[in-house]
Amino acid sequence: MRQRPDQSGLCCEKSTEENDRLKGFYTKEPFIVFILIAKYKEKLLYEEVKPLEYVIEMLNITKQFGNFRANDNITLQLGKGEIHALLGENGAGKTTLMNVLFGLYQPEEGEIRVNGKKVNITSPNVANDLGIGMVHQHFMLVENLTVTENIILGNEPKKMGIVNSKAAAKKVAEISKTYGLNVDPYAKIEDISVGMQQRVEILKTLYRGANILIFDEPTASLTPQEIQELIGIMKKLITEGKSIILITHKLQEIMDVSDRVTVIRKGQGIGTVVTSETNPEELATLMVGRQVTFKTEKGPANPQEDVLSIENLVVVDYRGVEKVKGLNLSVRKGEIVGLAGIDGNGQSELIEAIAGLRKVKSGKITINSKDITSLKTRKITESGLGHIPQDRHKHGLVLDFSVGYNAALQEYYHPPYSKNGLMHYDVVSEKAKKIIEEYDVRTQGEHELARALSGGNQQKLIIGREVSRDPDLLIAALPTRGLDVGAIEFIHKRLIEQRDKGKAVFLISFELDEVMNVSDRIAVIHDGQIVDTVIPSETTEKELGLLMAGHSKEAKVGADRDV
Amino acid sequence: MSNRVIKILVPAISIILGLLVGAVVMLFSGYDPVAGYIALWNGIFGDSYAIGETIRQISPYILAGLAVAFAFRTGLFNIGVEGQLMVGWFASAYVGAAFELPMYIHLPFALLAAALAGALWGLVPGILKATLRVHEVIVTIMMNYVALHVVNALIKTVSGGSYKTDKIQPTASLRSEFLSNLTDYSTLHFGIFVALAMVIVMWFILEKTKTGFELKSVGFNQNASHYSGMNVNKNIILSMVISGAFAGLGGAMEGLGTFGSMTNQGGFTGIGFDGIAVALLGANSPLGVIFGASLFGSLKYGANNMPNAASIPLEIVSIVIALIIFFVACGYIIRVALERLNKKKEAK
């Protein structure tokens, strides 16, 4: 575990030290101790009650939606110059709490103090005036405006009624330099990378004078390198006197950057711990409420005949460019095949071709020896395919449909869900209730819109829908993207369960850990072809990495393995 | 204040506000608003004749509103209701006049002809949208003009050069002596029952059938619908066809009920365009459409009495009516204001 030498003044460390000293005296000389206690009493009490200078205090916050308590008596105190992580599962109430702080919701109970003064944050404008800035998970930028234009939007500096963007650009450049953000004020948003767009969001809050920055799951859409850059920026912000609340469910990030962690679970505050005194396992247990295993438990695979087999498959993307170039692959009964590869090497096109969402240019795909090449989507589904799609909002769910309707999306057209052209919504509801219960989908009920669910619960709903149909072949494309450890564990268990039932599972993931942990065989895709197939126990991340980069022959260790 | 009270209060306050601002307009133009509104009231509810005519006016509005609302609910914006209604009107008038059949065949046949004509007019933009991704707003707007001139040409052709189709056979008429007598010889006809039946049909299709499930799904998310094996293109076309059929039936209200023929049209009837507002006022729900159509129909008909009884010029009347509708459409603002007020009270 990493120690933070630059971090001083943390409550517990200091007061324990003080206590130890006192204890020493106590055993030796009662009288001196008496005087000492009298002398130190004030200081001790002070230290206990106010160990840090808090810039934000959210005390006993309760936020209720109808009968549902999204936040139940949560306390969060942000010290000055601190990176304070807010940890919780998907749907635990992290975002709700931050929306309370940002003035988007009004709490039913509790109070908020900024710099020790009680405040009433009625709108985001009030929050801005108090120096609170939010870096949203989904960037709120106008694509075809420049960085500067985006930053001054709604707050334009004017000279005789004309926007003075030059002065603004200068200020933007200055701030960018101070914090090492490296942003060109004149670049257009559509031309810059996701990581830089995020830095523009950070700049926006700084430009408006924020001293307290809230980062809502900032690493969700970043590459590993961009994550490292972001961590550097956060540290720089702290040294410049800012304070940060980091909302996340990624434990490693918390260990890397935060000073303290406040954990919430199912809307309730579990407590605050000092990062240097904890470890990822403990945090996971606090967050989920039970022991979590990081290494997936599974027995040996018992593969049998091929379920999915792909021969010389060629698929083109929407521009007509070949993305899958003569690919061969098979997935057998009773095994999980992981597809490892860097994003954009033909994975999406491959899955879409199998699922019938994209036309096949040439080659052959069979499921259970039945040729399904370019059949209609429904025909393929009926041939025994379950498909957890890569993009849950685009393909996986009709967000404006209820949870119940979505639960029936693959089966609505046949009995018992519909008969003679009429829907039987009572059966649909029953099915939805079953999925909600078995797959622990946290929702207010089957009538709630899918849109209102958190990402993890939307994913669980999709997985419930696909797995409960018990398909011979289950394609899981990035099934755990954006999910917390508890949900990831749950989903991995379900995939292995399907395998042990003798089904074929095809897992596509960009996370090497996941592919290594869950798969029985790993097929590595590069530039539209399978470059090699390896066994997880016989390979290393390094070897996989090289294969993914396309160094097939050079890096290959050991004998040939058939594809 | 409970939610239910707010729900009832919002339209009431909207209408009152509209009336107040309308009164100001009348005052400033030198007319007596009290006399004006009494005339409006009498024009709508004054006697059984007025009530009969008002209900008669509401029927096509309901159907035009349903047409727009149905397309909306399935993700499409049908601005072509006007044209679909016109071809429906012509088809009903033609079938009503050209055939001699017993009533129990002739009337349904004439209604069906109207629905089919409207559906055909919806089919064209539907196919273009489904196969070539041409936006339905553009196609439906242009189809309105095509309808206007095609219908006028057809009237000339079938009537042998006249400006008007032949009077329909009594076996195809929606007119009813009973309803007419009941309302002091107004032109009230059975059309209102056809319209109300269609309200139920729309609700049934959307909320009860498998087709409705697919139509709504495709309207919300074409990608997910494709993923789940629905035929997206078929559903887009079907949505426009059903929408067009509702509009066509709206035309039959005029062809088989109110007029019993079709006269050469100098311009658009306006019913189809008002249907957009009717659907929006009714929040695109079948029941809401009845409310929206009632408001539109009664104001439209009742306003005719204002120039006669209170000698307010038609232009001022149009402004007043528009203001009332404007405020009803702004109901959202009033609801927000009420909720704020509510919160403040609770806080105290």
Taking residues A230-239, report their average pLDDT: 90
Residue B126, token pair as written in the block:
């539907």
Is the omega angle on the peptide bond into residue A416 within 30 degrees of 0, that is, cis? yes
Is B348 touching A (CB cutoff 8 A)? Answer: no
Examine the domain organization and report whether A487 and A371 are in the same domain. Answer: yes
- Look up tokens 């009498």; give the residue: B42
- A407-412, long-range: CB < 8 A, 24+ apart: A407/A431, A407/A432, A407/A435, A407/A446, A407/A461, A407/A464, A407/A465, A408/A432, A409/A465, A409/B217, A409/B224, A409/B228, A410/A381, A410/A465, A410/A466, A410/A469, A410/B228, A410/B229, A411/A469, A412/B210, A412/B213, A412/B228
Examine the domain organization and report whether A275 and A313 are in the same domain. Answer: no
Cβ <8 Å between B227 and A396: yes
The better pLDDT of the pair B180, B195 is held by B195
Phi, psi of A44 (to 5 degrees): -60, -50
- Look up tokens 């990062």; give the residue: A275
| pLDDT value at residue A555 | 42
* pLDDT above 70 as % of chain A: 88
Taking CA atoms, B314 is separated from A63, A143, B44, B310, in Å, by 55, 49, 16, 11
| pLDDT value at residue A294 | 67
Secondary structure of chain A: what % helix, strand, coil (to 5)?
A: 40, 25, 35
Taking residues B308-329, report their average pLDDT: 84
Residue A124 has pLDDT above 50, yes or no: yes
- Look up tokens 């990581």; give the residue: A195
Cβ atoms of B114 and B177 within 8 Å: the answer is: no
- In tens, the pLDDT along A300-354 reads 888 889 999 999 999 998 888 899 999 999 999 999 999 998 878 889 999 999 9
Residue of A nearest to B204 (CA): A422
The answer to whether residue A544 sits within a structural domain is yes
* pLDDT above 90 as % of chain A: 41
| pLDDT value at residue A471 | 94
Residue A12 has pLDDT above 90, yes or no: no
Element (H, E) at A261: strand A260-265
**SS3 category, A288:** helix
Cβ atoms of A99 and A105 within 8 Å: the answer is: yes
Query: Å from B219 to nearest chain A CA?
Result: 10
Contacts of A396 in chain B (CB under 8 A): 224, 227
| pLDDT value at residue A226 | 79
Examine the domain organization and report whether A90 and A223 are in the same domain. Answer: yes
Residue A167, token pair as written in the block:
């002065």
The better pLDDT of the pair A342, A424 is held by A424
Residue B133 has pLDDT above 60, yes or no: yes
Total structural domains within chain A: 4
The 10 Å Cβ neighbour count of residue B102 is 8
Taking residues B28-37, report their average pLDDT: 90
Which residues span the domain enclosing A317?
A: 294-384+472-563
| pLDDT value at residue B2 | 67
Residue of A nearest to B224 (CA): A395
Taking residues A138-145, report their average pLDDT: 85
Element (H, E) at A385: strand A385-388
Examine the domain organization and report whether A215 and A71 are in the same domain. Answer: yes
Taking residues B227-233, report their average pLDDT: 95
Residue A44 has pLDDT above 50, yes or no: no
Phi, psi of B253 (to 5 degrees): -55, -40
Query: From CA B270, how far away is CA B320, in angstroms rounded?
Result: 18
A505: domain CATH number? 3.40.50.300
Taking residues B226-231, report their average pLDDT: 94
Examine the domain organization and report whether A181 and A106 are in the same domain. Answer: yes
The 10 Å Cβ neighbour count of residue A197 is 18
Cβ atoms of A516 and A522 within 8 Å: the answer is: yes
Domain boundary among A288, A309, A343: A288
| pLDDT value at residue A19 | 53
Examine the domain organization and report whether A138 and A203 are in the same domain. Answer: yes
Cβ <8 Å between B224 and A394: yes
The answer to whether residue A179 sits within a structural domain is yes
Average pLDDT in chain B: 91
Confidence of residue A514 (pLDDT cuts 50, 70, 90): confident
Taking CA atoms, A103 is separated from A73, A94, A122, B153, B341, in Å, by 18, 14, 5, 63, 20
Is A409 touching B (CB cutoff 8 A)? Answer: yes
Query: Å from A251 to nearest chain B CA?
Result: 33
| pLDDT value at residue B212 | 96
Examine the domain organization and report whether A465 and A477 are in the same domain. Answer: no
| pLDDT value at residue A409 | 94
Residue A397, token pair as written in the block:
């769910």
Element (H, E) at A542: helix A541-548
Residue A4 has pLDDT above 50, yes or no: no
Q: Residue A141: which of A203, A97, A91, A82 has the closest Cα?
A: A203
Examine the domain organization and report whether A204 and A114 are in the same domain. Answer: yes
| DSSP tag of B256 | I
Confidence of residue A559 (pLDDT cuts 50, 70, 90): very low
Confidence of residue A167 (pLDDT cuts 50, 70, 90): confident
Residue A47 has pLDDT above 60, yes or no: no
Domain boundary among A223, A254, A288: A288
Examine the domain organization and report whether A165 and A20 are in the same domain. Answer: no
Q: Residue B301: which of B32, B59, B57 has the closest Cα?
A: B57
Query: Å from B229 to nearest chain A CA?
Result: 4
Residue A423 is nearest to which of B210, B223, B224, comparing CB atoms?
A: B210
The answer to whether residue A326 sits within a structural domain is yes
Phi, psi of B186 (to 5 degrees): -80, 175
Query: From CA A370, how far away is CA A525, in angstroms rounded?
Result: 25
The answer to whether residue A6 sits within a structural domain is no
Cα angle for residues A339, A345, A349 (degrees, 5° grid): 80
Domain boundary among A288, A306, A323: A288
Burial class (CB in 10 A: 0-12, 13-18, 19+), A4: middle
The answer to whether residue A4 sits within a structural domain is no
The answer to whether residue A490 sits within a structural domain is yes
Query: From CA A345, how far away is CA A324, in angstroms rounded?
Result: 8
Contacts of B209 in chain A (CB under 8 A): 421-423
| pLDDT value at residue A1 | 42
The domain limits of chain B are 60-293
| pLDDT value at residue A331 | 95
pTM of the model: 0.76
Is B285 touching A (CB cutoff 8 A)? Answer: no
Cβ <8 Å between B228 and A387: no
The better pLDDT of the pair A89, A45 is held by A89
Cβ <8 Å between A413 and B229: yes
Residue B340 has pLDDT above 60, yes or no: yes
Q: If you write DSSP's letter for every residue of B133-161 in order, what string do you get?
A: ---HHHHHHHHHHHHHHHHHHHHHHHTTS
| pLDDT value at residue A50 | 46
Cβ <8 Å between A357 and B226: yes
Is B227 touching A (CB cutoff 8 A)? Answer: yes
Query: From CA B279, how far away is CA B73, in angstroms rounded?
Result: 10
The better pLDDT of the pair B212, B346 is held by B212
Rounded to the nearest 10°, the torsion over CA B148, B152, B153, B154 is: 100
Query: From CA B106, how far away is CA B173, in angstroms rounded?
Result: 9
Taking residues A517-544, report their average pLDDT: 90
Minimum mean pLDDT among A410-419, A431-440, A448-457, B57-66: which range? A448-457
Residue A390 has pLDDT above 70, yes or no: yes
Examine the domain organization and report whether A490 and A376 are in the same domain. Answer: yes
ipTM (interface pTM)? 0.84
Residue A25 has pLDDT above 70, yes or no: no
The answer to whether residue A129 sits within a structural domain is yes
Taking residues B71-93, report their average pLDDT: 95
* Alpha-helical regions (H) of A208-288: 224-239, 251-257, 280-288
| pLDDT value at residue A46 | 45
Query: What type of residue is A129?
Result: D
| pLDDT value at residue A89 | 81
How far from chain centre, in Å, is Cα A398?
21
| pLDDT value at residue B246 | 97
Cβ atoms of A85 and A258 within 8 Å: the answer is: yes
Confidence of residue B347 (pLDDT cuts 50, 70, 90): low
Taking residues B71-79, report their average pLDDT: 94
Examine the domain organization and report whether A456 and A486 are in the same domain. Answer: no
Cβ atoms of A71 and A61 within 8 Å: the answer is: yes
Residue A423 is nearest to which of B213, B224, B226, comparing CB atoms?
A: B213
Query: From CA B23, how far away is CA B36, in angstroms rounded?
Result: 8
Residue B208 is nearest to which of A394, A401, A422, comparing CB atoms?
A: A422
Confidence of residue A33 (pLDDT cuts 50, 70, 90): low
Residue A171 has pLDDT above 70, yes or no: yes
Query: From CA A364, how far away is CA A330, in angstroms rounded?
Result: 12
Is B159 touching A (CB cutoff 8 A)? Answer: no
Confidence of residue A8 (pLDDT cuts 50, 70, 90): very low
The better pLDDT of the pair B206, A511 is held by B206
How far from chain centre, in Å, is Cα A179?
26
The answer to whether residue A35 sits within a structural domain is yes
Confidence of residue A52 (pLDDT cuts 50, 70, 90): low
- In tens, the pLDDT along A69-94 reads 889 889 999 998 899 999 988 778 88
Query: From CA A254, how far away is CA A286, in angstroms rounded?
Result: 14
Examine the domain organization and report whether A449 and A514 are in the same domain. Answer: no
